[in-house]
Structure 1
């Protein structure tokens, strides 16, 4: 079901922030970033970390396939009815920022069919550093980059790096193998983001997705307060 509400601007209590029955809708968190940065792996890890305590679902975006959704289904991170895919047919940022109708319909259908839900993760297709989500689609944005893309990525900036609610510098375990300076990346990210949080992450490490999961929990607490 696609509700009739604006596609931009912050959610309004009593309108976009609530379902037709008056209950508060799920918190929507978007995950964007370049191809291969580890968005789908991060989504999978978040599902494993949070599924015992939260009712959650996932929307993936690919241009012509359902590959990311199929990966999550194979990994059995959630029941199949809680994972759905949007085939954008165009540049990924179009479906998360410019014409968000397909993604809105997907998240609203999940709430109606699998709800009540606490959290919906919306994963963008792989895009560049300019990718951002419409505020009419998600309530918070995570941007994922990885050390293999070069340790100059945080310094290059772009809206994804500078304005996302959380920046994740992923695959830190690869730094010695690709010649990336983690301290430099962390310092450049801090300089670009004016106090917005940054997480250095290795899903192969002991802590895994723990810091990002803690951030999601904090956002949910604020959303439901």
Structure 2
């Protein structure tokens, strides 16, 4: 992966002593909130976590995560973007940065990971590196097996591409082998995880990748302190 510079979330040394910021983006209905919930459940006993959700007008995703009690309520906050979600994760990131920093202040320096979940957006939606140190882009097979082939910055440049809802592939006529081949080509060999949260609610492929990212982040923090 080191040869593919656009897949490297660690180009700059991390700010001393702060949490890793992970962006999760993808189209409407791809399973971003469900994946966020799965990551919180899988990692909350190992790491100190917090979440920022983005919706255009509501706080629906944050409300869902609180209702599911994936984390304590004071670790989940919502940003209302009032416009296309990508503007708040790429163009004017101030509301999200304020939300992240408020969570960090509230919990001191104890946080290991802050997940910033984007609202549903198109295939070009990518987080600013000023907001996210690493980013996951989520597709679902119901969108069609040609979606990875279409590329787009989100698909091509995210640090991990997640193809979700693989259990639906036979029902919607999507060929997972085609999706894997196209994704590998568009992403120049960058990592791709195929998930079914219905069959594997702990999302082991994604949590495994994220544990590695967190380990590397912690190692780099130790070097810079």
Q: TM-score w.r.t. structure 2 length? A: 0.90
**Aligned Cα RMSD in Å?**
1.5
- Structure 1 residues 37 and 164: CA distance shift in structure 2, 3 A: same
Find the residue that maps to 2:136 and give its secondary structure: strand
Query: Does the 8 Å CA contact 1:44/1:77 hold for their aligned counterparts?
Result: yes
Among 84, 89, 92, the alignment partner of 1:96 is 89
Residue 220 (structure 1) aligns with: 214
Find the residue that maps to 1:222 and give its secondary structure: helix
Find the residue that maps to 2:29 and give its secondary structure: coil
Residue 162 (structure 1) aligns with: 156
Q: Where does 1:13-92 land on structure 2 (aligned, <5 Å)? A: 13=13, 17-18=15-16, 24-92=17-85
Worse-matched range after superposition: 204-213 or 178-187: 204-213
- Structure 1 residues 61 and 11: CA distance shift in structure 2, 3 A: farther
* Post-superposition CA distance 1:83-113 (Å, at most 9, x none): 0000000110000000000000000000110
Find the residue that maps to 1:95 and give its secondary structure: helix
Question: CA offset at residue 206 of structure 1?
Answer: 3.7
Unmatched 5+ stretches in structure 2? 1-8, 220-225
Once residues 198 and 12 of structure 2 are traced to their aligned partners in structure 1, the CA distance between those partners, rounded to angstroms, is 39
Residue 178 (structure 2) aligns with: 184
Residue 222 (structure 2) aligns with: none
Once residues 195 and 68 of structure 1 are traced to their aligned partners in structure 2, the CA distance between those partners, rounded to angstroms, is 32
- Give the total of aligned pairs: 210
Once residues 125 and 201 of structure 2 are traced to their aligned partners in structure 1, the CA distance between those partners, rounded to angstroms, is 28
Once residues 107 and 167 of structure 2 are traced to their aligned partners in structure 1, the CA distance between those partners, rounded to angstroms, is 37
Question: CA offset at residue 12 of structure 1?
Answer: 5.3
Find the residue that maps to 1:224 and give its secondary structure: helix
Residue 113 (structure 1) aligns with: 106
Is 1:171 aligned to residue 165 of structure 2? yes
Unmatched 5+ stretches in structure 1? 1-8, 19-23
Query: Does the 8 Å CA contact 2:42/2:202 hold for their aligned counterparts?
Result: no
Once residues 184 and 114 of structure 1 are traced to their aligned partners in structure 2, the CA distance between those partners, rounded to angstroms, is 44
Query: Does the 8 Å CA contact 1:11/1:135 hold for their aligned counterparts?
Result: no
Question: CA offset at residue 208 of structure 1?
Answer: 4.1
Once residues 84 and 184 of structure 1 are traced to their aligned partners in structure 2, the CA distance between those partners, rounded to angstroms, is 38
Find the residue that maps to 2:115 and give its secondary structure: strand
